[in-house]
Every structure is written in C-alpha cells, then in structure tokens.
Amino acid sequence: MRNIILIGFMGTGKSSVGKFLAKRLGAELLDSDAAVEAREKRKISEIFEKDGESGFRRIEKDVLAELLARPNAVITTGGGAVIDADNRRAMRASGIVVSFSASPEMILERIGKTKHRPLLNRGDRLAEIRRLLDERRAYYDDCDIKIETDGMTPFEVSEIVMEALKQKGLL
Ligand code: S3P
C-alpha cells in the first residue's frame, strides 16, 4: 500500500479520521505532532514558546521526512506542515495526499478552547483562522483527493476517503 498522507488546517479532522482509516486499511498510524513531542520530550506549545514558530518548523520538517520514508502508513500532519515546499514534495513522493477542508466557523467550533494550538492563542481567533486559511489555501489544494468536512463525523469522512481511493484505483 502507498502511504496515505492527511493534510489540512487545524480542526479539519485529520487525527480523528486518520484513526478510522488506519484501522480500516490495517496500516500503521503516524502523527507528526505526536512524533515531534515524543522526540523533543516537550509539548508543542513549549517548543513554540522557547524556539518560536521557526524552531518548531525545523523539528517538524525533520520528523516528517522520517515518517514519510516509512511504508504502509496513514500519516497525519500538523496544519502548517504544508507551508514548506520540501515538505510538500516529500509528501507527494511518499504517497497519496488527502486534503481536508472546513469553514472557519466549523474550525473554531472544533478547536474550542484548546491550548495546544499556540498559533491561535492570540487575539480574534476567527479572524486569525481566516487569515491563515487564505495564506495556505494553495498549499492545501495541492493534493490528490480533497474533502469538505463541514457537518460530517470523522467516520463519515473516512468512508468518503475510502470511496475516493477505490474510485481512483489507488487501493
Ligand atoms: C499548526 C497546527 C498544529 C501544530 C502546531 C502548528 C499550524 O497541528 O502542528 O500547533 O501551523 O497549523 P494540528 O493541525 O494537528 O492541530
């Protein structure tokens, strides 16, 4: 099986859908945020605080390259992993890139008041979500399969991904 790589903004459901997909495909589930925290032995919010966003991005790039080199996996990525062109190339080379989208309002609702999204812990969250979405839109569009997830449960989204993979002859 080629790797399945899930991309998309925070709160679009990558991690929850990834769990269903990995189970369904009998594949290993690899998560870049979790792998960053495991390697660093500190939380993403601490990395942002101490090393800034650029420090986090350097670690994320390194960790992601390692995960993408492994076979037969569903790989969930941090929402900003697509910003880096090398990351995007590595994702395309590693497997099938599936992109999730959602409206800014839905994203805000799903993220709630979580503290582990340091990028959204300042000012007007909805405005910040909109700004980042605009900035990253082209990167999220660079994919094999795109799925709009508003109002859907993670299980429903995973079923749609399975169907799209079958239709495209990718399974
Ligand atoms: C980020 C998304 C987060 C995490 C970090 C930065 C982003 O991952 O990597 O807080 O830049 O969008 P999730 O998309 O899993 O929340």
At 52-95, the pLDDT tens digits run: 999 999 999 999 999 999 999 999 999 999 999 999 999 999 99
Phi (first) and psi of residue 24, to 5 degrees: -60, -40
In the numeric block, which tokens belong to residue 31?
């998560």
Phi (first) and psi of residue 166, to 5 degrees: -65, -50
How far is residue 95's CA from residue 21's CA, in Å, rounded to a whole number?
15
- Which residues does a 6 A CB cutoff place in the pocket of ligand 1? 10, 33, 44, 78-80, 117-119
Nearest to 9 by CA among 105, 101, 88, 115: 101
At 91-145, the pLDDT tens digits run: 999 999 999 999 999 999 998 866 678 888 878 899 999 999 999 999 999 999 9
Residue with CA at minimum distance from ligand 1 atom 9? 78
Helix (H) or strand (E) holding 30: strand 28-31
Residue with CA at minimum distance from ligand 1 atom 11? 80
DSSP state letter for 170: -
Q: Would you say 80 and 118 are in contact if contact means Cβ atoms under 8 Å apart?
A: no
At 24-45, the pLDDT tens digits run: 999 999 999 999 999 999 999 9
Q: How far is C-alpha 139 from the geometric centre of its chain's CA atoms?
A: 12
Please, how many CA atoms are within 13 Å of residue 130, restricted to the half-sphere of its CB? 6
Pocket test for ligand 1, best of 10, 42, 136 (most atoms within 8 A of CB): 10
Helix (H) or strand (E) holding 28: strand 28-31
Nearest to 102 by CA among 150, 161, 163: 150
Model pLDDT, residue 113: 65
Q: Would you say 116 and 72 are in contact if contact means Cβ atoms under 8 Å apart?
A: no
